[in-house]
């Protein structure tokens, strides 16, 4: 009987988050105010986020204490198990050991509550009564719904319409946790109505949904906006995952050669990887690979540039890899990976070649996901299948090179409410998709004239 899981005792849960800003090897380009072109200050963000989270966003403290109230909620599912994927290894027949962190054991089934719980707590502590947010595949929206319920906050979720239609269960989940979920573009906001007037059949995008959620929040002094990825404080909260993983690996005396995660806005990937980035900055040899979809190739084909986080141009300008804030991706199923931008921290680390990005086609990712389900049992979220496709690629390379490797990846969530996507794949309804060059060029016109980092 060979062991496959490494648990941590609840008492071993990390008590602090890790802030990569304390260890960045080169300075990051600051967010800019779109009007003045000057770096934004805390006051500029005050109508959008509570001040305690704004302070976290700009903090350069290396370790930030996790509040007791947040830890208590984390314990509902954390520490999550670290698994060895022995059956998948056998299938791949390559000289690799594959470890994965199972973030699917949380109530909504993904890594998202790591920051949802923290954000709900800090908003509550700041006296806020209501949060408004956007969601792609619905993992974020459902996580924030649960978190708001647990801290007694009202919650409104603007869900990208194509996902809202494809994944009705996510909206129902939000309702069970007491939130309201609207398809976006909606008629609830100026931003939504404007898009609907021009494109009544718009499938929506994260950029549009963000505009709606921000607009919905800033008009109400008791409300704030909440973002499920991209920002520094979100990535910070997710590091609980990488920190746990490091403790677990230490218990079994293993250190990875490659760390992999799928990337939409970058938070699950960063959550696992940033503590390993710290090791790398301090000299450790390790590859850190971000897996994105070919249908939304933010880092592999988008430039590193200043751009808005949303379509209505209401956010500060962020220095990041981007496909342009008007980008509306093809309606592929990995809804959580369909964002035009990428977390500034991740973008910066890719630019500095500390991390590496690769793109995978949806056919390739579902193939990997079905192989995974048939060996390891668990059915992965379509997003997570991008990471698994990267694992397969790494294993194939190891085999070719005849080199032993330890691969670690973030199993960011399960796909039990994404089964329609598997059904489409198994019945041959999905096709390969590569973004045409001219479409990328057209989308990038949106950043013409913006400042350069």
Residues in the site for a second copy, rule: CB under 8 A?
Answer: 1-5, 7, 9-11, 68, 71-72, 75-77, 87, 105-107, 109, 113, 146, 149-150, 169, 172-173, 175-178, 370, 373-379, 416-417, 419-420, 422-423, 426
| Sign of the Cα pseudo-torsion (125, 239, 213, 420, in order) | negative
Q: Which residues contact 41 (CB under 8 A, 6 or more apart)?
A: none
CB of 102 to a second copy, least distance (A): 9
By C-beta, is 221 or 423 nearer to a second copy?
423
The C-alpha atoms of residue 48 and residue 133 are separated, in whole angstroms, by 11
CB of 109 to a second copy, least distance (A): 7
What is residue 376's DSSP assignment? Answer: H
CB of 107 to a second copy, least distance (A): 3
Q: Which two tokens stand for residue 410?
A: 């973030």
Q: Report how many helices (DSSP H) and strands (DSSP E) the chain contains, helices first.
A: 18, 15
By C-beta, is 3 or 436 nearer to a second copy?
3
CB of 40 to a second copy, least distance (A): 35
The C-alpha atoms of residue 451 and residue 317 are separated, in whole angstroms, by 9
By C-beta, is 248 or 311 nearer to a second copy?
248
By C-beta, is 94 or 421 nearer to a second copy?
421
CB of 105 to a second copy, least distance (A): 6
Bridge pairing between strands 180-184 and 405-411:
unpaired
Contact 208, 184 (CB under 8 A): yes
CB of 337 to a second copy, least distance (A): 20
CB of 8 to a second copy, least distance (A): 9
By C-beta, is 142 or 211 nearer to a second copy?
142
Q: Which residues of 4-28 are buried (b: 16+ CB within 10 A; e: fewer)?
A: eebebeeeebbeebbbbbeebeeeb
By C-beta, is 260 or 379 nearer to a second copy?
379
CB of 103 to a second copy, least distance (A): 13
Contact 261, 272 (CB under 8 A): yes
By C-beta, is 147 or 319 nearer to a second copy?
147
Closest C-alpha among 345, 347, 296 to residue 321: 347
By C-beta, is 202 or 375 nearer to a second copy?
375
CB of 238 to a second copy, least distance (A): 18
Helix, strand, coil percent values for the chain (each to nearest 5) = 45, 20, 35
Q: Which residues contact 3 (CB under 8 A, 6 or more apart)?
A: 84
The C-alpha atoms of residue 208 and residue 275 are separated, in whole angstroms, by 32
By C-beta, is 157 or 312 nearer to a second copy?
157
Of the chain, the end-to-end C-alpha distance in Å amounts to: 54
Contact 354, 64 (CB under 8 A): no
């Amino acid at each position: 009987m060979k062991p496959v899981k490494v648990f941590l005792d609840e008492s071993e849960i990390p008590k602090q988050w890790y802030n990569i800003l304390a260890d960045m090897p080169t300075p990051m380009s600051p967010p800019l105010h779109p009007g003045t072109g000057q770096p934004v200050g805390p006051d500029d963000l005050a109508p959008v986020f509570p001040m305690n989270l704004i302070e976290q966003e700009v903090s350069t403290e290396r370790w930030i204490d996790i509040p007791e109230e947040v830890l208590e909620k984390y314990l509902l599912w954390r520490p999550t198990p670290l698994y060895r994927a022995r059956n998948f290894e056998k299938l791949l027949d390559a000289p690799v050991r594959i470890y994965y962190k199972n973030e699917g054991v949380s109530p909504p089934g993904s890594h998202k509550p790591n920051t949802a719980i923290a954000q709900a707590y800090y908003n509550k502590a700041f006296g806020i009564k209501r949060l408004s947010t956007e969601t792609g595949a619905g993992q974020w929206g459902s996580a924030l719904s649960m978190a708001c319920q647990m801290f007694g906050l009202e919650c409104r979720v603007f869900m990208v319409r194509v996902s809202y239609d494809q994944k009705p269960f996510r909206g129902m989940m939000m309702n069970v946790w007491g939130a309201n979920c609207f398809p976006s573009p909606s008629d609830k906001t100026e931003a939504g109505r404007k898009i609907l007037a021009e494109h009544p059949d718009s499938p929506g995008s994260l950029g549009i949904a963000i505009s709606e959620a921000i607009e919905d929040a800033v008009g109400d002094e008791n409300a704030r906006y909440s973002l499920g990825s991209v920002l520094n404080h979100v990535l910070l909260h997710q590091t609980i995952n990488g920190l746990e993983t490091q403790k677990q690996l230490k218990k079994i005396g293993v250190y990875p050669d490659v760390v992999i995660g799928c990337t939409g806005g970058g938070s699950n990937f960063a959550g696992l990887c940033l503590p390993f980035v710290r090791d790398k900055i301090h000299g450790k040899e390790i590859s850190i690979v971000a897996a994105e979809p070919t249908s939304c190739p933010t880092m592999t084909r988008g430039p590193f540039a200043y751009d808005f986080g949303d379509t209505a141009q209401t956010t500060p300008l962020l220095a990041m890899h981007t496909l342009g804030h008007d980008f509306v991706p093809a309606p592929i199923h990995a809804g959580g990976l369909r964002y035009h931008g990428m977390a500034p921290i991740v973008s910066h680390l890719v630019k500095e070649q500390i991390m590496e990005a690769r793109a995978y086609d949806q056919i390739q990712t579902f193939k990997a996901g079905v192989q995974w389900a048939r060996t390891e049992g668990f059915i992965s979220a379509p997003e997570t299948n991008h990471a698994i496709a990267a694992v397969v690629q790494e294993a194939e390379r190891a085999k070719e090179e005849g080199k032993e490797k330890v691969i670690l990846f973030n199993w960011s969530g399960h796909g039990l409410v994404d089964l329609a996507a598997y059904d489409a794949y198994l019945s041959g309804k999905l096709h390969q998709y590569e973004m045409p060059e001219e479409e990328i060029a057209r989308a990038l016109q949106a950043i013409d004239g913006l400042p350069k980092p």
